């Protein structure tokens, strides 16, 4: 397993997951203001999103790309997003259908990429622009929903905007999944 600064950033992102999760399970008497927990959770999520961009940029810029880094980076991303979505659903801040669509797509495309790699055609399903738009909408939506202590039954402007962005992210999620499946379709026939 190679060690370099970009891979350390990816491991840091994975380390943020239990810290991020524990914030939601702190005893009520430890923190008197829920907004503090929301801000901390949003901070850890934003830091993870920034390190996601930064580790890839540095790996390419410094010539430190590796097969292990290419494996670990998307795993860290998907774990953080899945945990955040589950916590947002559990706290009533977003709809379960949004989480099901996004997590389901991530599992499907990860399996598709693995299968395409076995066929020697991984580049056929490399990250496309639509996937980048999906990720941006998804990250912004999750960030806003983490900041908001409102619920879907009693929303405020922040939660309404977050859920609107989540809806947009879900549309882009389905669109990008269909795009990747189309790119792999000729391999299905073979």
164: domain CATH number?
1.20.120.1760
pLDDT at 164 over 70: yes
Question: Which pLDDT band, with edges at 50, 70 and 90, does 190 fall under?
Answer: low
Question: Which pLDDT band, with edges at 50, 70 and 90, does 1 fall under?
Answer: low
Of 63, 44, 83, the C-alpha closest to 6 is 63
Q: What confidence tens digit (pLDDT) does each residue in 83-117 have?
A: 999 999 999 999 999 999 999 999 998 888 888 88
What is the residue range of 76's domain?
Answer: 5-189
Q: What confidence tens digit (pLDDT) does each residue in 25-73 have?
A: 888 778 777 888 899 999 999 999 999 888 888 888 998 888 888 889 8
Q: Total structural domains in the chain?
A: 1
pTM of the predicted model as reported, rounded to 2 decimal places: 0.91
> 3-state SS string over the chain?
CCCCHHHHHHHHHHHHHHHHHHHCCCCCCCCCCHHHHHHHHHHHHHHHHHHHHHHHHHHHHCCCCCHHHHHHHHHHHHHHHHHHHHHHHHCCCCCHHHHHHHHHHHHHHHHHHHHHHHCCCHHHHCCCHHHHHHHHHHHHHHHHHHHCCCCCCCCCHHHHHHHHHHHHHHHHHHHHHHHHHHHHHHHHHC
Average pLDDT over the chain reads 90
For the chain, percent of residues with pLDDT exceeding 70: 96
């Amino acid at each position: 397993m190679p060690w370099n600064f970009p891979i350390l950033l990816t491991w840091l992102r994975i380390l943020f997951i239990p810290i991020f999760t524990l914030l939601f399970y702190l005893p009520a008497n430890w923190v008197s203001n829920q907004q503090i927990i929301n801000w901390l959770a949003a901070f850890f999520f934003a830091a993870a999103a920034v390190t996601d961009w930064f580790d890839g940029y540095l790996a390419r810029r410094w010539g430190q790309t590796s097969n292990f880094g290419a494996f670990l980076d998307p795993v860290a991303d998907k774990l953080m997003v899945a945990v955040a979505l589950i916590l947002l659903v559990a706290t009533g801040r977003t709809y379960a259908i949004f989480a099901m669509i996004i997590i389901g797509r991530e599992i499907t495309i990860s399996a598709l990429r693995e299968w395409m790699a076995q066929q020697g055609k991984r580049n056929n399903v490399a990250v496309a622009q639509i996937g980048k738009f999906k990720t941006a909408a998804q990250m912004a939506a999750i960030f806003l929903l983490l900041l908001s202590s409102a619920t879907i039954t009693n929303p405020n402007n922040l939660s309404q905007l977050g859920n609107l962005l989540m809806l947009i992210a879900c549309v882009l999620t389905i669109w990008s999944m269909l795009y990747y499946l189309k790119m792999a379709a000729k391999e299905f026939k073979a």
